[in-house]
Structure 1
Amino acid sequence: MNSLIKLELTRAFRNRKFLFFSVIYPSVLFLLIAGQADTTTMVDGTGLSLPAFMMVSMASFGALTAVLMGNSERIAKERENGWVRQLRLTTLPGRGYVLAKTASAAVVSLPSIVIVFVVAAAFKDVRLDAWQWLALTGSIWAGSLVFAALGVAIGYLASGDAVRPITMITYFGLSILGGLWIPMTGFPQWLQNIAEWLPTHAYAALGQAIELGGAPDAKDVALLVAYFLIFAGGAAWLYRKDTLKA
């Protein structure tokens, strides 16, 4: 499995387009959205300045991009070209393949998180205690596993031709409705009520709670755990189904 992880990482870091959108683009988007705002520009109902709020949102968005976009399209294409079938002929167990995909995506997601933090601190004067920086990095990185599992499930659900539109709809839908691009306070109330139950909202809320100096809300943690179990269970079921077809 270690060899497969190394192979996946090599492929990911050679893909310049993927690296741009997962590592560089979130920082660029952060600067565009934060604009001329400073630490005195507050987001209504959050207790956070706009730069601090968007820093967590864009770090979460970058990690989401790395684990969701990377996993889904690559798995669907590997199923189509026979690479997954070839791996089944080796001693690598099915869970090893899924774990290798998840682990490699998680490694790629870490730089996107760190770069957003560096840009926010350097250009928007976001200041936090050392424990908050560490807790933010750990919570956003760990939370990305939820979307890594979703990426695996989509990769086994969709064909090579259909995987991109399905992934893009899921990706943009979760990002926008979950409040990663714009604060949810600007949504109509009925839409806010729906968005509060989305995994992306709970994901960003982890970091926002840490920025305020507290612990993540138990509801948000429970919601992410529930989504992870659903996505991972769906991925496992789809993997077994795909194995039977092969």
Structure 2
Amino acid sequence: MSTPTSSPATPPAPSVLSTTAAYVGLETRRALRDPGFVISTIGVPVMMYLLFTNLGGQNDPAYRTVAMVGMAAYGAMGAALSLGTGVAEDKSTGWLRQLRITPMTPRRVVTGRALTGTVVVLPAIAAILLAGGLLNGVRMSPAHWAAVAVALWLGSLPFTLLGLGNGYRLSAQTAGVVNVACNLGLAVVGGLWFPVSLFPGWLAGLSAWTPTNRFAELGAALAGGRAPGAAGLAVIAGWAVLFGGYAAVSYRRSARTV
């Protein structure tokens, strides 16, 4: 009597977590392998930080600490916004259409992109903090270093959402220009490059309502051993909700055409 042959077992379908993690890993490697991304989000902020804090023999430890936080915020914002440019380029090359034949649903693609933003901002933050500690003599307790790093990491979320909104709404070329304009404009008005105390009164008042000003203020407070202010946290949260809504609307609009 012949024994029935058993059919080969069907491999289990990949889980939501595994496919999302694989997608985040892919997009992170794509970003970090791009020389333009590395230069603009790590190299340029480090160079600017060291230049601004060493011109004219400037050696005030407090200034170097505040400038370190501001430039780390600038690097993180640039890295977060750059994701939107990548999304726009993916639309033009057909990569987003290709993703639709994979197990990745549209919601998971957007979530994966947002999670990628939480990863690619880390090298920019780490590079500036290392430059402050190793080259500029900034001294803080380990707890304060960790608190500043985590605050800058979490505070970059609104800029990731803004970049994604621009990427899904605009063409590749336009998204690149708009994201650079957002990066430079928010950095200057938010006081990431120059102290807000040097601004005229009307600009200082406007700066207090920008996400960048409150973003840097959050890190500076923790670096000085102070608790973040409730007003600053409320401004950051408000911008995160606004940019999140913008990203969602932009994605729905893009889904109808891509």
TM-score (normalised: structure 1): 0.92
Highest CA radius of gyration, 1 or 2? 2
1:79 deviates by 1.2
Matched, 1:52 2:65: yes
Consecutive unaligned residues of structure 2, counting only runs of 5 or more, are 1-19
Moved segments of 4+, more than 4 Å: none
Are 1:118 and 2:147 an aligned pair? no
Q: Distance in 1 between matches of 2:141 and 2:194?
A: 25
Are 1:189 and 2:210 an aligned pair? no
Which 5+ residue runs of structure 1 have no aligned equivalent?
41-48
1:176 maps to 2:195: no
Contact 1:106–1:141 under 8 Å retained in 2: yes
Secondary structure, counterpart of 1:127 in structure 2: coil
Distance 1:132 1:86 in 2: 44
Matched, 1:146 2:158: yes
Q: Is 1:37 matched with 2:58?
A: yes
Instruction: Tell me the alpha carbon deviations over residues 97-118 of structure 1, each in whole angstroms, 9 at most, x when there is no partner.
Output: 1222122232121122112111
Task: Determine whether 1:64 maps to 2:77.
Answer: yes
Identity of aligned residues (%): 32
Offset at residue 11 of structure 1 (A) = 0.9
Aligned partners of 2:75 and 2:124 also within 8 Å: yes
**Is residue 166–residue 250 contact of structure 2 (8 Å, CA) maintained in 1?**
no
For 1:1-246, list aligned pairs within 5 A.
1-35=20-54, 36-39=57-60, 49-69=62-82, 71-246=83-258
Partner deviation per Cα, 1:82-129 (whole Å, 9 max, x = no partner): 211221233312221122212223212112211211111222211111
Matched-pair contact (CA < 8 Å) for 2:80–2:156: yes
Cα contact 2:165–2:246 (8 A) shared by 1: yes
Q: Distance in 1 between matches of 2:22 and 2:136?
A: 41
SS of 2:226's partner is coil
Conserved 8 A contact 2:121-2:153: yes
Corresponding residue SS for 1:59: helix
State the one-letter code of the partner of 2:86: R
Asked whether the 8 Å contact 1:39–1:126 carries over to 2, the reply is: no
Code of the aligned partner of 1:16 = P
Task: Tell me how far 1:232 sits from its aligned partner.
Answer: 1.0
SS of structure 1 residue aligned to 2:156: helix
Aligned residues: 237
Segment drifting more, 176-185 vs 13-22: 13-22
Please provide the CA RMSD for this pair. Answer: 1.3
CA contact (8 A) 1:30 1:58 kept: yes
Residues 192-214 of structure 1: per-residue CA shift (max 9 Å, x gap): 11111000001000011112211
1:162 aligned counterpart, secondary structure:
helix
SS at match of 1:179: coil
Is the Cα–Cα contact under 8 Å of residues 39 and 125 in structure 1 kept in the other structure?
Answer: no
> CA offset at residue 175 of structure 1?
0.6
In 1, Cα distance between equivalents of 2:32 and 2:253: 31
Greater Cα offset, 24-33 or 95-104: 95-104
Secondary structure of the structure 1 residue equivalent to 2:50? helix
Shift of 1:164: 1.7
Q: Which amino acid aligns with 1:68?
A: L
Distance 1:90 1:39 in 2: 54
